[in-house]
Each structure stands twice: as structure tokens, then as C-alpha cells.
Amino acid sequence: MVQGPMSNRALYAQRTIVKRTRRNQVVRIVKEHYLRDDLANPILTKSFHGGQVSNEQHDEAEEYCVFDASCFPHQVDVLERGASEGAITGVILLSTVLETVARVRGESARRRVLELCSSDQGGRFVLFPDDHHQETSVCAEPAVRGETRMQVDRRGFVRACRWLAEDAKAAGRAKPARLVAVSDSEEARAALEESQELRGLVSSGLVRVRSTESWIAERHPHLLDLVALSSTDGGDSDAKAPTGKASQHSSFLPYPRHVSAQEADRKCRLGLAHKGKLCCASRFSPWTALVKIAGKDGSEDAEVKVVGREALNRATEGDIVAVELVDGPGPEPGREAEAMAEGEAEGVGIASVAENDADASEVSASVRYARVICILRRAWNEKGYCGSIQPKSLPKDQATLMSTGRPVGVLFQPSDRRLPLVRIRTRQCGVLKDQRIIVVVDEWDANSAYPSGHYVRALGEIGDRETETKVILHQHGVSDPDEGFSPAVHACVPELPWSVPRDLNDPNRRDIKGMCVFSVDPPGCRDIDDALSARFVAPEEIPLDAMEAASLAASGKLVELGVHIADVTHFLKPNTAMDLEASRRCTSVYLVDRRIDMLPKPLTEDICSLRHGVDRFAFSVLWRMNVDTADVVGEPEFFKSVIHSKAALTYQEAQEKIDRGGDDDITRGLLLLRRVTRLLRKKRVDLGALTLASPEVKFEIDRETNNPLDVGMYVTRETNKVVEEMMLLANETVATRIFERGFSRSALLRRHPVPTKTMFEPLLKACQSAGIQMDVTTSRHLADSLDRAGSSDGGEKDAYLNTLIRFMATRCMTQAEYFSSGEVARSQFSHYGLAMPIYTHFTSPIRRYADVVVHRMLSACIGLEPPSEELCESALVTEQCQILNVRHKSAQLAGRASAELYTLVFFRGRPTEEPARVVKVRERGVVVFVPKYGIEGTVRLDGWAKVEQKKPAMASADGTRKVELFDRVRVRIEVQQEGQSRQEHLVLTIV
């Protein structure tokens, strides 16, 4: 930076911005803008090199490229690939171009372009601050009256290109520098070639003007498949454009034109339209969606249904849209043929209790219909989508199929069925036809049946387990385990072997190594977050002024329970490289065959893990309770500690100790914990806590081949409930402490909103038809109804039916979410499912970043460290909570997808017949649940008809067979491959 006052007045300028406010007032803003004359031309720096080229006379030169804003972020894929292969080098990114990208495309697009520089290890990309150079900044010359923002940006781009080329020429380099100005806007390219400042440089060959496609075709033709279609309008076009044969149905009609964003905003203000996020009603189809819109006059939000291609009008999953209400869904001609053309099929997989996992038939009958009139913000994944090329779109001619010289238009079938087919061009049909590939969506023209995109890379052969796992990770935004952590992150981890210092003298940490502490976890668990302790308190340990505690201790009824959590924040310091990476990942992801950690493995499995037989740092919470009532006596204690775990038990081993009994310290502690947690659980149930079912699946894996040997429902024991109850107690206690005594406006909490009666409609309808009484007025009434569900008049209980009803009840609820206490009314803090007035996550900091934040808040509350700005600002906590909620859900979906993949592998070549229960009745079949494997899916009943009666049923054409809701049936389970998507899926048929 230039030090001291500016001596040259030419290095000082004023930037004037004229803009219109929301109240339609014109405001003139003048900003000081300092320029420099000592910024080096990147072409002349030794560490930055261009690509080697030669002209017709074989004179060698170095080629440098400057891209304008029309190329970003669309062309990042081709630049990344070219740089990784060493093909593309000498790319100059202008700071003004990045500002334009952020203004037009958003901050996420700007960050993605900046990653080209941050991840560059070979000096192939450089960021040049053209806005602060005296010779390149538009502020250095007089403003042009009436000039638009786009014209100013274009003038700045021309100035930068001229100075870079002329300054490099004047330096008299041994190898002359040639500059390529790249723009994907035809209008901008014409303006560059005709500009007075560049005309001489263009005619002399020192500056060339090209589109990305033409430049790649000249210099790097093998990368042409990665070039995005030119798009200068934000990703959608209502203008007429040519479309390939692969993109069209013979009966296709152009989509209705979108209204402008300004017109959509005006309609929304007048109540003629509504804004909302579009979510597909089923994870198996893109053509029926729901949009949540704000209710009128403060009423609760409502959902509207958008059905069919025309009504969706090019909107896809996650888009922010403006919709107009319509009278009905409208005609959908050729719907069956359309579904078959895209390989759409009813899904079969692991049963889920996830929010919004219902199909369109489960939507409330009172829902209104709407159509999309404007897409306000696209939610297309900048990293692309996984899938494969649709076989029927491939060329029939073998020579054309295997040719690598001419691009061929094909249809890409995404693995995520909520997305439509995508039109791409490729020169590698013969290679990619049997591969899972990644494709980025570029635009969706109004005259094209499908969006257009470009190929990015191949993941591997279709059907290969490792390839399909890569698809799952990419589809859910999970960090690739092959990439690992950066060197900067590993530098934050203490060297191994690590141990607690023997001469530890920390006044803020209590030594409780003599306490009987032990952990209880699933088999094979290496990242042990939590440990427990329990003992009776002797009378001599009680202070004289604690009368109640002394009385209970004297009668042998005072117990001390402890939860000890790994002290991750001792090693994970705020704003370090490791902390920033953890805040980005937010959670560890558990797949069937692997774990993608939030933190480096030395921390998760060794340094922080509360392993048996070693000293470890912990954050401890202790309660003293009446053993007969589980009432807390006095205040809980919070402190950092050093513990020495006496045992690392599995749930089964702990259960065996409880069942067998014994007089050792660990068994006594387990028995004491069981005694108290039974009382704690009863208290919660009395308050309305719900016992909800979740179809968790467990696999037995062959250690050599990594293939599944067996699959079945996960079995829970009483020890699971003991540990769960202690974790719930710790989380509630910590939530109360950080909210009431430190962070009343910014505490990171977790809530489970109370479901509305409308959300329970599918459950109530099903139960009413089956003669099951269900009261959903309060959580207590719902819990009582669930306990009675499946009971007959004779007192016998159908356990499977009861479990199915609990599944259905869980699906009616929204998912729990993280939030900042400053953004939600106190009355909305409660956790509906747990029947707790306040709740957070404290007990798993090794695998959840939310717990890390809560640990820091608790440390500040008890005076161990000063609170940081990130913890005190509600807006910053809210921003982190939004990321946490997204990552948490993605991790859940990735885990479920992995279980579905291994279920498919298990049933390959192994058709099986198993008992099942009917859970839904549809127009063309029934949905069944297979309890043994946790599988749920549709059984198509061709030729059967839905019977109009009180209890939903399907009957065969001859009337000899009838299947009703909740009936027991026997199904055959086998694996088949869909013809067009090339995805394997389970097929269920009634035997």
C-alpha cells in the first residue's frame, strides 16, 4: 500500500453513484476512490506465464487471456479442468469483473470464480485490481453523461485490455505477449473489436477477441465438452432459439413467457401473485411441486400445488418463484407417455420419516393450485448434477456414436428424479454412454422442452458400488473423502502421539480421573463424544448449609449423575483454518461403509475421543438428584475436566451387565442410571413427549469385499434409552444455562415446531378409515393415541401396525431446526417431539459444529473465556444456523441413500419373499412396508381398481382378490434396472 499522504492529485478520484431507492427517490452518492501507479502488469511478473503459441511465420509468443463478466461463473468448469491438466495458463481475472459477477449473479458466483486463484498452485491464474490502477480504472477519466452501468463496465474492460497489451509491448519482452479478450456476449465482442482504443491492437494481432467456445476450439479442443452455452441473461431465455432434435417432443409447445422480476414484484405487492420456494411433492418426479406462500392477514402459511410442465414453466426443485393462483391443475395431455419417456417410476427404498417425503397424493385435499409466472432465483447447483446419458437419445449409427470429432446432442438423465432431463452436446458419446457423469445446467430456453447444460467429468462405470457412492456424496454436497483436509487444517492438529500433560496446572480444569467414568456406544465406534458417571453421594460431601441435600444423603437417596463430553474447543480455536473448514462441513456424514469426518481423523479418533484407559480433556455437567423422584437438588455444575474412562462398552455389552447384575463400579453406575432415567423418561412422557418410530437399518459388511452380507432393522435396547435420556438432560440443561445467563439474544438453540392440524390430515384420514381413534390436539393426546393404536377389543396389540402409525405421525411433522434465540419468540422455543420448553445440542462436538458453538457459549457463560462477536451477534448465529440446517438434512439424506444403495447390492441376484403391510392405497397400486428390511415402496397392480368404501382398498378385475389399508401381504423383492436412467431399483410384487 502507498504510505502517507498522496503527493500526486492524479492518484485521487471520486466515484459517483446514482441510484433509485425503494421509495422511488433518486440518490447521488459520492465516494472517495484512491488510485495507484505502482501496480505491476501481471504479464511482466516472473511467476506468471502465458500459454505458448506461434503465428504463421512460426514466431513464438506467450498468450494471456482476460475474461469479462459474461463468462462467469458458467465457464469455471472448463478453466478448472484445463488448469488441472496444465493446458490452460495465463488467465487474468479483473477485480471489476468479479464485482460485476457478484452484482449480477450473486456473491456465491463471485466466490466460485475466486476459487480459481485460491486453489491455483501453478501460477496459472492471477487477480489484477484494475479498479485501483491509474491506467485501467474508469474513475481516472471523466464520466460519460447518460452512460449505463453495463457501458461503464465495458469501457473499464476495454481500458484494462489496452493497458495490459500496450504495457507488455513497451517492455520489449523476448517473447511478445498476445492478449485474448474473451466474452460470451456477441454484442460485447462486437463493441470490443470496434472500439477506438483496441482497433490498432486488434489489427496488429496483439489483441484478439474471442468467445469461450471459439478460444477453446482453437487452443484446447479436447475441452470443448466442458464449455457452457453462452448465457448473458441469467440462465433463462424467452427469446426464440434453435433447439436440437433430442430436446423436443413432437407435440411440444413453447412454454409461456415469464413476466419480468419487476412485474412479478408488483403483482405480489398487490396480492395478485405470491412468492415462495418450489419443492417437488415427490422425490421420484419433477412434474408436481408445492410452493409455500405467506398467509393473508397474519394467518399461517399455506401451500399451493403446481402440476404439469406448463404450470411449472421451467421451474425446478428449490427455485424461488412467483406464482398466480388458478382454478385447477389443468389438462395434462400425454402424461403417461411423458413419464415413460423419462424413465419415471415409483420409488422403492429405505422407509423414511423425513419431512416433505410424501407423494403428491398425500397433499391436503383443500390445497389450491397455481402456475409459475416468474423464476426470481435459480437454485441450480453450480457444481452440477450426477446422472447418465439416456440410451434412446444416443445416435443409432455406430460410426457417429464412436466419433470424437463432431459434437452430438444427447439427453442427460439426472440421478435425482426431481430434475428434468438436460440437453448436452458431447464428442465422447462412445466413452460416456456407460458412465455416471456430472453435468452443469446452463439455461432453459422457452422453446426447448428441456434445459441445456454441459458435461463436466465422469465418475465411473454405472452400477459400480464405488461410483454410485461418489454420486451420493456429490448429490448431497458432501465433501469428497479423497480430497481430505488441506495442509492448513492439518497444521492446526497437535502431533501424534498426544497425551494429557502429566504436570497439567490449569486452574480452569478440574481433575476427576478418579471418578468412575465409562462410555456406551454402537459397535466399532471410534469417535467417542460422550461418557457417563453415576454414584451415591456420601453425607460428608455435603456443605452444612445444603439442608435438603444433606437430608437426602443421610437417607441414602442423593445421587450424582454426570455427562462428560469431549472438549473439542480446547483444540478447535475460533477462526483458524480448521474451524472455518468445520463450520463449512457442519457435521460428520455416516454412510454404510465409511464416515466423512467434520474434523481430521487424529482429532476424532484419538486426541478428542474419550477412549478407554487414557486421560482426556472433557466438558462435564454434574447433577445431584433424589433417586426416588429424579428431581434435581441444587444447581447443576458445569466445568472443564480431565477424565480417565474406565470402559468403552457397546450397547449390548452394557445391557448384559445390567441384566446380569454385579457389584463392580461400572455395573452399579449402569443400574443407577437406568433407575433414574426411567423416572426422567416418565416425566417427559407425562408432559407429552412422543415415542416416534424411525426405520433405521443395520448392515453386516464383508470386511474383504465390502459387500453386504445381511441387512435388517436396527434393534434398540434399554441401554440405548438410558444414554439417550442422559444426553437429552444435558442438552436441555445447557440450553437453559446459555439462554438465561449469557446469550439471551443469540443462544444457538434447537426447536421442533408444533404441527398444524392440516399437516396431520394424511394420518387422520388413514386412521379414520381403519377405525383407529387419533387425537392430535396436543402432544400428550397424540402420544396417548399412538400408544392405543393397533390395540384390539380383546386387548391384543398389533405391534407392526402400531409402528406404522408412528411412522405416519412422524412424517406429518416438520423437522427440528437450529435457530438463534434473538430471531424467534420465546413461546416458539419448545421442542414438540421431546416435550421440552428449551433445547440445544451439546453432546456431540466431534461430529456436529452446532455443539462446538454451544461449547463456546457455555465456556463464556461460566467465565472460562470472553465471548466473541460471532457468538453475541444474533444475525451471525442465524447465518450459521441456516448452514447447519441444510448440512444436517443433507447428511441424513446421504446416509439414507447409502443404505438404499447397499440394500440394492444385497438383493442383486437374490430375489426374496417377505411379509409386508399395506401403508397406502393409490389409484394404480398400493404402498407396502417390509418390516424385516425397513423397505417401503409401491406395488403396481395392473388391472386392479380402487374400491370406493370406508377403508381404502384395491380389488382385482375378477373380484377374487382385495387388498385393504394396513392388510398383511406377502411380497417378492428383486432388483431391476430402469431402461433410460440406467439406475437399479427394487421392485415389489404381491405374491
Residues 53-76: tens digit of each pLDDT: 765 544 677 889 999 988 888 888
Task: Give the cell for residue 58.
Answer: 512460426
User: Residue 837, preceding bond cis, omega within 30 degrees?
Assistant: no
Cβ neighbour number for residue 702 with a 10 Å cutoff: 10
Q: How far apart are CA 529 and CA 882, in angstroms?
A: 24
Inter-residue contact 316 to 278 (CB < 8 Å): yes
| Most confident listed range (149-153, 760-764, 810-814, 849-853) | 849-853
Using alpha carbons only, what angle is made at residue 642 by residues 640 and 647, rounded to the nearest 5 degrees? 125
The pairing of strands 589-590 and 595-596 is antiparallel
Give 346's pLDDT tier (boundaries 50, 70, 90). Answer: low
- The residue ranges of DSSP E strands in 537-680, in sequence order, are 558-566, 589-590, 595-596, 615-626, 637-650
User: Looking at the predicted structure, is the pLDDT value of residue 674 above 90?
Assistant: yes
User: Looking at the predicted structure, is the pLDDT value of residue 757 above 90?
Assistant: no
Give 341's pLDDT tier (boundaries 50, 70, 90). Answer: very low
What is residue 506's predicted lDDT score, i.e. its pLDDT? 86
The model's pLDDT over 815-831, given as tens digits with 9 standing for 90+, comes to: 899 999 999 999 999 99
Q: What is the mean pLDDT of the chain?
A: 85
Q: How far apart are CA 931 and CA 351, in angstroms?
A: 10
What is residue 121's predicted lDDT score, i.e. its pLDDT? 57
Q: What is the distance of C-alpha 728 from the center of its chain? A: 26
Q: Cell 464405488 maps to which residue?
A: 466
Helix axes 874-907, 465-475, angle to 10 degrees: 160
Give 357's pLDDT tier (boundaries 50, 70, 90). Answer: very low
The model's pLDDT over 839-888, given as tens digits with 9 standing for 90+, comes to: 999 999 999 999 999 999 999 999 999 988 889 999 999 999 999 999 99
Give 374's pLDDT tier (boundaries 50, 70, 90). Answer: very high
User: Looking at the predicted structure, is the pLDDT value of residue 800 above 50?
Assistant: yes
224: DSSP letter: G
Q: In 771-867, where does DSSP find H-type helix? A: 779-788, 799-811, 849-861
What is residue 440's predicted lDDT score, i.e. its pLDDT? 92
| pLDDT over 70 percentage in the chain | 88
Out of 216-230, 240-254, 553-567, 773-787, which region has the weakest mean confidence (pLDDT)? 240-254
What is residue 333's predicted lDDT score, i.e. its pLDDT? 40
What is residue 494's predicted lDDT score, i.e. its pLDDT? 93
- Confidence (pTM): 0.84
What is residue 60's predicted lDDT score, i.e. its pLDDT? 76
How much is the average pLDDT of 772-795? Answer: 83
What is residue 698's predicted lDDT score, i.e. its pLDDT? 78
Q: Is 315 helix (H, G, I), strand (E, B) or coil?
A: coil
User: Looking at the predicted structure, is the pLDDT value of residue 235 above 80?
Assistant: no
How much is the average pLDDT of 306-330? Answer: 89
Whole-angstrom CA distances from 882 to 218, 410, 558, 586 are: 45, 37, 42, 11
Q: How far apart are CA 716 and CA 96, in angstroms?
A: 59
User: Looking at the predicted structure, is the pLDDT value of residue 303 above 80?
Assistant: yes
Alpha-carbon torsion angle 816, 819, 821, 827, nearest 10: -30
User: Looking at the predicted structure, is the pLDDT value of residue 594 above 70?
Assistant: yes
Q: Is the dihedral of CA 658, 783, 750, 599 positive or negative?
A: positive
Q: Give the burial string for 47-61 (b: 16+ CB within 10 Å, else e).
A: ebbbbeeeeeeeeeb
Q: Give the burial string for 263-294 (b: 16+ CB within 10 Å, else e).
A: ebbebbeeeebbbbbbbbbbbbbbbbbbbebe
- DSSP percent split of the chain into helix, strand, coil, nearest 5: 35, 25, 40
What is residue 1's predicted lDDT score, i.e. its pLDDT? 29
User: Looking at the predicted structure, is the pLDDT value of residue 251 above 80?
Assistant: no
What is residue 931's predicted lDDT score, i.e. its pLDDT? 83
| Most confident listed range (51-55, 141-145, 413-417) | 413-417
Give 793's pLDDT tier (boundaries 50, 70, 90). Answer: low
Q: How far apart are CA 117 and CA 92, in angstroms?
A: 10
What is residue 349's predicted lDDT score, i.e. its pLDDT? 61
| pLDDT over 90 percentage in the chain | 40
Residue (of 769, 708, 625) closest to 910 by Cα position: 708
How much is the average pLDDT of 548-565? Answer: 92
Residue (of 619, 805, 634) closest to 730 by Cα position: 619
